[in-house]
């Protein structure tokens, strides 16, 4: 199984594109495009099945991480409230990115309207041979994401000792 993409709801597509490309360094694959609620096209019929009748339409953009994972940004026409993480609900609550410019990405996240949710932590602070760091951040719309300084395998596997 491979990861293909993740879809993220935002309230301002232009601001979202700026944040995800300039703060996080994602590459634009398809810029802001409008999708309408209609039954004449395959995408219109699919969206009615996914979002239900009356979704009114949305803007969408497609971006790409350096390792080829897609990020779809959705700006719904009739949903404009900020996302608040509800830890009492079951479901996906964050995604994680990995970078070699750990501190730089944190600075850019804040510069482009995001937030740092916690202090930078090391998974193994007692072991200097395992320098992996992590931090939870937010995009400007309240979507939570984690940032790693090392790969997932390097962070957790005992094989990387």
The model's pLDDT over 77-122, given as tens digits with 9 standing for 90+, comes to 877 666 677 888 888 889 999 999 999 999 999 999 999 999 999 8
Residues of the chain with pLDDT under 70: 80-83, 158-161
Dihedral over alpha carbons 76, 81, 87, 89 (to 10 degrees): -50
Q: Give span(s): CATH 3.10.180.10, the chain.
A: 1-80, 82-161
- Per CATH, the homologous superfamily of domain 1-80 is 2,3-Dihydroxybiphenyl 1,2-Dioxygenase, domain 1 (3.10.180.10)
pLDDT score for 43: 86
pLDDT score for 89: 84
Which pair of structure tokens corresponds to residue 73? 């940004």
pLDDT score for 160: 52
pTM of the model: 0.88
pLDDT score for 158: 66
Average pLDDT, the chain: 91
Phi/psi-derived region of residue 91, left when phi > 0, alpha when psi is between -120 and 50, beta in every other case: left
pLDDT score for 80: 66
- Per CATH, the homologous superfamily of domain 82-161 is 2,3-Dihydroxybiphenyl 1,2-Dioxygenase, domain 1 (3.10.180.10)
Give the burial string for 28-40 (b: 16+ CB within 10 Å, else e).
Answer: eeeeeeebebeee
pLDDT score for 159: 58
pLDDT score for 61: 98
pLDDT score for 88: 84
DSSP for 11-76 reads S-HHHHHHIIIIIS-PEEEEEEEEE---SSSHHHHHHHHHH-TT---EEEEEEE-TTS-EEEEEEE
């Amino acid at each position: 199984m491979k990861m293909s993409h993740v879809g993220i709801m935002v309230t301002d597509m232009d601001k979202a594109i700026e944040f995800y490309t300039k703060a996080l360094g994602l590459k634009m694959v398809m810029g802001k495009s409008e999708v309408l609620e209609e039954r004449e096209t395959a995408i219109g019929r699919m969206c009615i099945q996914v979002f239900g009748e009356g979704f009114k339409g949305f803007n969408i953009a497609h971006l790409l991480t350096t390792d080829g994972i897609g990020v779809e940004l959705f700006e719904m026409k009739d949903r404009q409230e900020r996302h608040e993480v509800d830890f009492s609900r079951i479901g996906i609550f964050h995604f994680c990115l990995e970078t070699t410019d750990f501190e730089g990405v944190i600075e850019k996240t804040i510069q482009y309207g995001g937030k740092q949710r916690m202090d930078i932590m090391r998974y193994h602070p007692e072991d200097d041979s395992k320098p992996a760091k992590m931090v939870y951040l937010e995009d400007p719309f309240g979507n939570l994401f984690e940032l790693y300084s090392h790969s997932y395998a390097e962070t957790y596997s005992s094989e990387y000792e």
